[in-house]
Structure formats: structure tokens, C-alpha cells
Amino acid sequence: MKFPKRKDGIWIIILSFIVLIPNIFLFFMANTYVYEGGFAERLLFLFASFALFLLPSFFLKVRTFFLVHGFFVLLSPFETAHIYVSKAPMTSAFFATVFETSLGESIELLSSIFPLILAELALWFFYFYIGLKKLDNTWFWHSKKVRYYTLGASALVFSIIVMAVSVSLNKLHPSEKIYKTTIGNLKKGFNKIYPYNLLIKTYEIVKKEIDISKKADDFTAFGFGASKHLPISEREVYVFVIGETGRYENFSINGYRRQTSPLLEQTENLLSFSELYSEANLTHLSIPIILTRASAVDFKRYYGEKTFVDAFKEAGFKTYWIGNQSMRNEFVQRTAHDTDGAFFAPIDFDPKNNYDETLWIYLNDILKKEEQKVLIVIHTLGSHFRYDARYPKAFDKFRPSLNERDKKNVISPEFKEILTNTYDNSILYTDYFLANTIGKIDSLDAVSAFMYVADHGENLYDTEDLIVLHANSTPTVYDFHVPMFVWTSEKYKLRYPDKVSNLERNKDKKISTSYIFQSFLDLGDIHFSEEEEEKSILSDKLTEDSIHYILQTDMHIKAFETRIKE
């Protein structure tokens, strides 16, 4: 490569290094799930990232070239942070979440790897200063013939590689079309090369929004035709709590070594389900599966169908949504908009005034209305990272915790004990919130029931791959094994003794979060023509999951082993 001027050569090399930081990071930090071919594959993709990085140099002058790449330099902290935490490139689902989440949530995660992000910010300033002030805007390749010949040769080599891959794949997959298989594998390869992976993810996000908009008319006209077959005169109150980042294993009611759920353990008429598994490890994906008839293998179903909240409304119930997160999530917005009342905490992810108990203000106001038929959905922050921001200091029982140390850099295996202690404190607070919420419902002396389900789990450096947090491309059982609690009032037990008996009988059966839709409707004794009794935990016809499918953050479907390996 011939540089425009000798004096510019060193700046070009340095700026190129800054642009390629995510790819260099991935080369050293990616797990074996990303590079199944070992070191040779790592080296190949690093070389490919450099080659693709140079591609625009055939068409752009030096300064323009680096300013165009500057846009991706601005986004690189998100990619670098994801690689640092997940040991894999950012996925389309996670990328979509970045733009739907609040600034506070993003800051909480980024501040936990502060030195890394601070270095990235310093590089921002350096990159644009050098790009604007030090580089002459001349061509990389002074001769047009050299540019065209080099570009043509590159295109020829690339075509030969594509053809070779096509022939090879056709031998391996004779039942599939060469073109479709090749494009799919090339796309998979580009997903490992920054910034081209972001272009692919942007396309996927836009395509999803277009698909949803095409289903808008179907959604507006959609109805379940739901009703209660045997209406009752007593007051009915049903509460569904969506938990956040809940690990089944860390509740003492489920056998955990620490006493993290003492109040729930003392709550009468409460059942804990031992074999519930989420079908996604990201809120953005898991919530539609919980609330609709969508599943990991039929995720797009939620585009045109409504939720069990809408089915309750069809059956004559007043419906409410209360939440202190995800107010920018399009699915949450859509669901909450169609309720009789939606209440969101004024600030997302604020540790000073956004504990889950602040939602009781809205809950109390709704219960005071004394409406006869009510469904309330409560979407909590639960144990979402940062864990120390999820509970008051009175619950800082297990120490040392994040409340006692510098919080600028805590995402590291060396802080496993501190992260686990702080996480357990957040579970202790969840126990307090859930038990007292049940107490409020119990005081109504109504036919009432309560269900709590966590959207997904969490990793705390449990495995040899040293995975932490959630939404990782390398899924673990800790991502998916989630707690579910069901409570019923005395009047409910008298009214529906068979349902309660079936709940007790089914509490240890292996099920997925795609069962929640049918189960919660059955809890309210609400029926519709397409109901599936075999997917209700209140039915004597419940069928266990034979194979557990998950929707990965790259939107691929995978059969998954749900047992924790000893």
C-alpha cells in the first residue's frame, strides 16, 4: 500500500488501529462458540476485517475515509463492551435493545467497565482531532489504474472464494440451494466483522419493524373471543408480576444455601415451580413469549396477535399496567396502551427513587377503586444489573457488596464474590416486594390469585467460560432456569379446588415460559376457542416439555439442555 505522503503514514496506521479495536478485541477475547475453527479461524477473520476495512479506500480520499469510519468509532464502545462481557460480537436483539433502553441503563453497564470506556472516549477525541487536523485529503492510491486493477483483482478473488464455498456447502448440504446456504454462511461470517455486523443488524432491525407494520391491520382486528364460561358474583383480582433477571437457584425457597426469601417461605398458599425455563435470555425477546402465544420457534406470532391482558379485557376485566422499566420498548408500549390504565415510574434505572416498592403507590390506588373484575400487570426492575441499585441499604445483608467498593470496574471474575453477594441482596429485596404485594391482595378478601415469573436468569461466572450477566451469545442454563411463584386466596381455593389441586400436582413438571399465556388465562378461568389445555399448569392435561427450545440473541432457534451439570 502506497501512502499519500510519508508523514501521514504513521497517522493512518494509528487511526486504522482505532477503527479495528473491536476486531482486535474479538481476536483475543472471543470464546470457542464464536471461533469453532480455533486459532486459524481467528486469524482469518482478523485478516478479513482488515481487508474489508480497506475496501472504501478504493473510492474515498484519506480524510473522508476516516471520517466515514468515524461513525463506527463512535459506536465501537458498545461493541467492545459486549465483547468484553459476553466474549462475542453484539447480536441484533442486543443491538435493538441498546436503542430501546434508557440512558440510565446504558450508563449503569458502561460505568461498570469504566477504565475501558474511558480509554475509548479518549480515543474518540484523538481520532477526530488527527483525522481533521493532521491528514491531507489525498487519495490512498495515487494511480487510478492501480486502484481499478487492485479492486478488480480483489473482486475476482472474492468471487472465487464464494464459488468454492458454494460448491463445498452443496456437497455438505445437497438438499439446500447453493445460493441460500452460501448467503446464510457469508452473513454469519460478516457478523463476526465490525462494523459490517452493525450494518447487518441495522437491516434486520429495520426489516423487523417493517414486518410488524405490515401486521398492524391484523393486530388491530385481532380478538380471542375470550370469556368466563361461568361468571361469578364475587370480586376477582388477578396480579401478574414480571420479574427481571431472576435466577431460580438463588431463592432459598428453592433450596439455596442462603436465606434470601424468608418471607415467601412463610407465605401460605404459595407454590414454587421448580422446572420452568425461559425461552430467551433477553427481556426484549422474553416478554412477548411470556405474554402472547409466541414461542422460540414461532416468535413472529406476536407481531399480529395480542396478549393475555387483552383476553382478560375481552372477558370483562379492567386491566392495568404498572412498570418501572421498558417504557420505550415497543411491545410494552403497545400492550400498556390497550389497558384501562398504564402507570410508569417517572425515571428508569434511578437508584434513588426507583425501587420496586415505589410501584405500590399505583397498585394501592387501583385496589382502592374496588372494581369487581381486575387484572394488574406489574413489570419490575428486580435484579437487573447494577444489583446494588435495586435495593435500599437495609437489604445489604450479604457482604462484601458493591455498596462497599469503587463501582467503576466490577465486571471481572475476581469480583465474583462481590457480584454474587450483591445479587443475593437484590433477591432478598425481591422477596420483600413479592411477599408484601401478595399481602395487599390477600387483604381484599376476594377471589384472587398472583403469579410471578422472571423474564430470564443471570450468569455470575458460574461456568468455565466465565460468562457474566445475560443476553450472551453463549447461552447457559443459568440464563434460562427461572423462578415462578403462584399464590391463591382462600376464596379462590374454595371456588376452584380442582385448579389448585392441579397446581400442586404440576409444580415440578418441566415447562417453558410459552406455557404462561394459557396458564394465566386458566388461572382466571378465562376460555377461548383455540385454548390449549395441555399448556396450562392448572390443567390435569398438562404435557411436559420434551425438548426445550430457546431463541438466541442472534435470533437463531436452538434445542437446549436445561439441566445443570454437576
How far is it, in rounded angstroms, from Cα 563 to Cα 465? Answer: 17
Same domain, 309 and 438: yes
Same domain, 442 and 401: yes
Conformational region of residue 549, where left means phi above 0, alpha means psi within -120 to 50, and beta covers everything else: beta
Structure confidence at residue 157 (pLDDT) = 58
Same domain, 275 and 179: no
Residue 3, H or E segment? none
8 Å CB contact between 224 and 307: no
Q: At what angle do helices 114-133 and 62-86 cross, to 10 degrees?
A: 170
> Residue 488: which of 515, 457, 519 has the closest Cα?
519
What contacts 24+ positions apart, CB below 8 Å, involve 116-123?
116/80, 116/81, 116/84, 116/409, 117/77, 117/81, 120/21, 120/76, 120/77, 120/80, 121/77, 123/18, 123/21, 123/73
Amino acid, single-letter form, for residue 298: D
**Which of these three, 150, 173, 208, is where a domain ends?**
208
List the CATH number of the domain containing 241.
3.40.720.10
- Whether residue 222 lies inside any domain: the answer is no
Q: Is 157 exposed, middle or buried (0-12, 13-18, 19+ CB in 10 A)?
A: exposed
Compute how many other C-beta atoms are within 10 angstroms of the C-beta atom of residue 297. 14
Same domain, 14 and 127: yes
- Whether residue 220 lies inside any domain: the answer is no
β-bridge partners, 236: 373, 447
How far is it, in rounded angstroms, from Cα 214 to Cα 107? Answer: 34
Low-confidence ranges of the chain (pLDDT < 50): 1-3, 169, 171-175, 564-566
8 Å CB contact between 228 and 527: yes
Residues 6+ apart with CB under 8 A from 126: 18
Same domain, 128 and 233: no
Tell me the backbone φ, ψ of residue 13, rounded to 5 degrees: -65, -45
- Whether residue 482 lies inside any domain: the answer is yes
- Whether residue 566 lies inside any domain: the answer is no
How far is it, in rounded angstroms, from Cα 253 to Cα 232? Answer: 34
- Whether residue 273 lies inside any domain: the answer is yes
Residues 6+ apart with CB under 8 A from 336: 321, 323, 342, 344
> Residue 312: which of 533, 516, 526, 531 has the closest Cα?
526
Q: At what angle do helices 62-86 and 92-100 cross, to 10 degrees?
A: 100
CA 401 to chain centre: 25
How far is it, in rounded angstroms, from Cα 419 to Cα 386? Answer: 9
Residues 6+ apart with CB under 8 A from 167: 178
- Whether residue 272 lies inside any domain: the answer is yes
pTM summary value: 0.85
Same domain, 247 and 135: no
Same domain, 466 and 537: yes
Same domain, 339 and 460: yes
Residues 6+ apart with CB under 8 A from 554: 91, 92, 93, 191, 473
How far is it, in rounded angstroms, from Cα 540 to Cα 522? Answer: 12
Residues 6+ apart with CB under 8 A from 30: 42, 83, 87, 88, 89
Conformational region of residue 479, where left means phi above 0, alpha means psi within -120 to 50, and beta covers everything else: alpha
- Whether residue 526 lies inside any domain: the answer is yes
How far is it, in rounded angstroms, from Cα 27 to Cα 389? Answer: 34
8 Å CB contact between 124 and 73: yes
For the CA atoms of 220, 295, 454, 545, the dihedral, rounded to the nearest 10 degrees, stands at 140
Same domain, 194 and 241: no
Whether residue 386 has a cis bond before it, omega within 30° of 0: yes
Structure confidence at residue 354 (pLDDT) = 81
- Domain span at 157: 6-208
**Domains identified in the chain, total number:** 2
8 Å CB contact between 237 and 374: yes
Same domain, 378 and 340: yes
How far is it, in rounded angstroms, from Cα 86 to Cα 471? Answer: 8
Same domain, 74 and 107: yes
Same domain, 169 and 288: no
Report CA-CA distances (Å) from 33 to 3, 86, 233, 366, 411: 38, 11, 57, 48, 21
Beta strands in 158-312 (DSSP E): 227-228, 236-243, 270-273, 276-277
How far is it, in rounded angstroms, from Cα 246 to Cα 243? Answer: 7
Compute how many other C-beta atoms are within 10 angstroms of the C-beta atom of residue 163. 12
Structure confidence at residue 565 (pLDDT) = 43
